Amino acid sequence: MEDIKETIRQFILTTYLPGESRDNLRDDTPLLTSGIIDSLAALGLTAFVQERFGVELDVYETSVERFNRIADIAASVERRQTQGAGSAGKAVR
Partner 1 sequence: MARHLAEYLEASAARYPLRTAVVDSAGESLTYAELDSQSSALASFLASRGIGRGDRVGLVLPKGLAAVVSIFGVLKAGAAYVPVDASAPADRSRRILTDCAIRALIVDGGCLDVAPDSDGSAALAALITVGENGSGVSNATSWRDVLINPINPINPTNSIDPSDLAYILYTSGSTGMPKGAMITHANALSFIDWCSETFVPVPDDRFSNHAPFHFDASVVDIYLSIKHGASTHLISDDLGRSPKDLARFVAERRLTVWFSTPWILSLLVQFGQLSSHDGSALRLVLFGGEVFPVKHLRELKRHWRSAVYYNLYGPTEITVACTAARIPDVIADDREAPFPIGFPCTHCRTRVLDRDGQPVSEGDEGVLYINGPSVFAGYWNRPEETAAAFLERDRIRWYNTGDVVRFDSAEGFTYVGRQDRMVKRRGYRIELGEIESALYAHPRLREAAVVSLPDANAGVRVIAFVSSDAVSPPSIVDLKTFCATKVPAYMSPDRIVFRDRLPRTSSDKIDYQALLAELRAEGK
Distance CA 92, CA 76 (A): 24
Q: Which of 2, 3, 18, 92 binds partner 1 (CB under 8 A)?
A: 18
Measured at the alpha carbon of residue 38, what is the angle toward residues 21 and 1, in degrees to the nearest 5?
Answer: 55
The backbone region for 25, taken as left when phi is positive above 0, alpha when psi lies in -120 to 50, beta otherwise, is: beta
Nearest approach, Cβ of residue 90 and partner 1 (Å): 25
Q: Does 65 bind partner 1 (CB under 8 A)?
A: no
Nearest approach, Cβ of residue 48 and partner 1 (Å): 12
What residues make contact with partner 1 under the rule CB under 8 A? Answer: 16-21, 24-25, 29-30, 34-36, 38-40, 42-43, 47, 59, 62-63
